[in-house]
Structure formats: structure tokens, C-alpha cells
Amino acid sequence: MRKAFLIGILGAALAISVGAGVCKAEVLDRIVAVVNGDIITMQEINDRLKPILKRNPIQDEARVNQIRRQILEMLIEEKLIEQENKKLGISVSDEEVDQAVERIKKMNSVTQEEFDARLEKMGMSMKMVRKDLSIQLNKMKLINREMRPRIIISDKQIESYYKAHIKEFQQKNKVSLRSIQLNLPLNASEEAVKEKMKRAREIIAEIKKGRDFSDAAREYSKGPNAKTGGFMGLVAWDEMSPKIREALKDLNDGEISQPVRLGQTIQILQVVARYGSDKKAMIAAKKRIQEILLSQELKKEYKAWLKSAKARSTIKIKF
């Protein structure tokens, strides 16, 4: 089972690690905590505990109670989020939960029947899944509304992160290319080659007048990547033929080559982007780094919010 499926459905509760064995202990329902007047019961804790023990049974009651305490901390956190969102008028609709369920199914490429079977194997019900997703969506909405606007990721932070993790982002001596391929007949005559070269130059002239290269590729190219606008992806400079390197060596991003004969084809090439310098690599990695840094900052902001929320709340634990 894929990790994304587990995390997306179960949230943090099922990430708790447990050992092997069998747990036979039963705990009667009772109030274990009161958070600003809202109660949490032992039954709520045990409902979260069951799927964990189904996957990893244990017989050490002390360890079971340790897990119960971890779950209780999570339930307190959820109550605080719920109470804060109520004050702010933030809510999660059934439709939003439906969409979250569909995203999980799509991400894991499972049908509803397969999804239900996995839940049953994990000791969960659709009702539990929907509740967990609603909790996660509530948390996400709170973070996006109250914490996200306060965070600004500067270019200096991005550059600093890039330099500290440069090996993760560098794509040295690579070029992102598009191509338009015109096929030559087998054993093409010199006249046939000239004719195709002439046609290639006509296409180039059309592009230089403003025609989008991708559109031209979809219409004229006979290559395998024609439907994707001739996109070839990233190509290592050292892996290109000498003819292609010669045709591309003086081109900047967005520029196109003169027609190049390669075997039984005539190629028109466009340099989408070069990744042969630290500057270009950093530009390409900027969005990814922004997401990483934003995630780090949001975790800090949320941790600070939770600490403050607990400090200003009345929380009575009777575990």
C-alpha cells in the first residue's frame, strides 16, 4: 500500500509506532479531558486507537496507554482548531470532503470497491475517513487564512537555500528542447532533400513571423512528440550529436535553429531553456524552493499558534 494512501486517509494518528503482539485490554468510556468546555472521551481515543492496533497489535498495556496519551494530545489540538475556526467562521463542507476522497482515490488509482477493501483491511470505515479529512481540511484552512499571509519568502532566502542544497538542483549542461521533424523518403535524392530543406525554411519563417513553435510542431512535425508540441524534455549536451550541438551552440532561450539533416529527417530545433549555469539552475528551482521554505515557515507559525492557543485555553486532563 502506498504511503500517500495511508497519510492522506489516516493523518498523524496512524503514524504512531507500535510493536508486535496482541492487546486485550478494554477501557470503559469516560471523560478524559475538557477543552474550553468541550469534552473528549476515552471512546474517542479508542476509536483512533483501533486501526493502529489492527495494523500493529501489542500486549504491553503501558505502551498502549502511552499511545492513548499521544492520541489525546492530537484530540486536544483538533478541539482547539475547531474552536478557533468556529470563531473565525471557517467551515468545511461535505462537498469539500467528497472532493478530498476523490483526490485520494485518483492519487492511488483505486476504484471505490478497492478503496473500501483497503479501509476494511486497515480497520477503518468511510465515516472515520471523512471525519479525518474534515479535520485536516479545517487545519489547512486555518493555516492558509491566519498564518500564510504573514509569510514572505525573499529572493535572498531562496538563493541561500539553493547554495546550501546546490547538488539537489543543479542540471549542468542540459538543454530543454522542442523539435519539428520532417521525414525524408528512403534513399532520398539530392532534389528531395533540397525540397524538404525549403519547406523547413518556410516553417521557420512562419514561426519568426509570430507562429507559436508548439502549434507549428503539432501541425507539421512527423516526429513521435508532435502531439506534445514537439517537446523533447531535457537533453544532456554531451549526449547530442555533433550536428545538433553545432546548430544549437549560439542559440539563446526561445530561439530556433536552421534546418538540420539527421539521417532520414530534417529537424528544426527550438531551445526552450538552457541549464548550463548556476543562475539558470536556480531560476528553474525557484518555485520548488519557495514551496519548501513556505512549508518550513508554516510549520513554525502553526507550532507557535498551537502553543499560544494552549496557553490561553482552559484544558483539564483526567486521563
DSSP letter for 256, please. Answer: B
- pLDDT for position 222: 92
Same domain, 263 and 205: yes
For residues 34 and 44, give the distance between their C-alpha atoms in angstroms, rounded to a whole number: 13
Same domain, 144 and 23: yes
> 3-class DSSP state for residue 279?
helix
- pLDDT for position 217: 94
Q: What is the pTM of this model?
A: 0.61
Same domain, 177 and 142: no
Same domain, 135 and 181: no
Same domain, 12 and 128: yes
Same domain, 235 and 133: no
Same domain, 25 and 132: yes
* Overall domain count for the chain: 2
Beta strands at 231-236 and 315-317: parallel, antiparallel or unpaired: unpaired
Please provide the distance, in angstroms rounded to a whole number, between the alpha carbons at the two ends of the chain: 34
Same domain, 15 and 121: yes
Residue 58 belongs to domain with CATH number: 1.10.4030.10
CA nearest neighbour of 119 among 62, 51, 214? 51
CA nearest neighbour of 78 among 55, 54, 48? 48
Same domain, 35 and 139: yes
Residue 267: alpha-carbon gap to chain centroid: 35
For residues 290 and 155, give the distance between their C-alpha atoms in angstroms, rounded to a whole number: 9
Same domain, 112 and 196: no
Same domain, 95 and 224: no
For residues 120 and 138, give the distance between their C-alpha atoms in angstroms, rounded to a whole number: 25
Q: How far is CA 255 from CA 47, 184, 204, 212, in A?
A: 61, 24, 11, 12
Residue 204 belongs to domain with CATH number: 3.10.50.40
> 3-class DSSP state for residue 56?
coil
pLDDT tens digits in sequence order for the chain, 319 residues long: 444 444 444 444 444 444 434 344 444 579 999 999 999 999 999 999 988 888 888 888 899 999 999 999 999 999 999 999 999 999 999 999 999 999 998 888 888 999 999 888 888 889 999 999 999 999 999 999 999 999 999 999 999 998 898 777 765 578 889 999 999 988 889 999 999 999 999 999 999 999 999 999 999 999 989 989 999 988 888 888 899 989 998 898 899 999 999 988 999 999 998 776 566 666 778 888 999 999 999 999 999 999 999 999 999 999 8
Domain contains 280: no
Among the candidates 150, 181, 208, a domain finishes at: 150
- pLDDT for position 5: 44
Domain contains 259: yes
- pLDDT for position 145: 95
Cell numbers for 208, please give them: 519568426
Domain of 50 in residue numbering reads as 3-150
Interhelix angle 3-10/126-142, rounded to 10 degrees, is 80
Same domain, 123 and 203: no
- pLDDT for position 21: 40
CA nearest neighbour of 151 among 303, 288, 309, 301? 301
Domain contains 223: yes
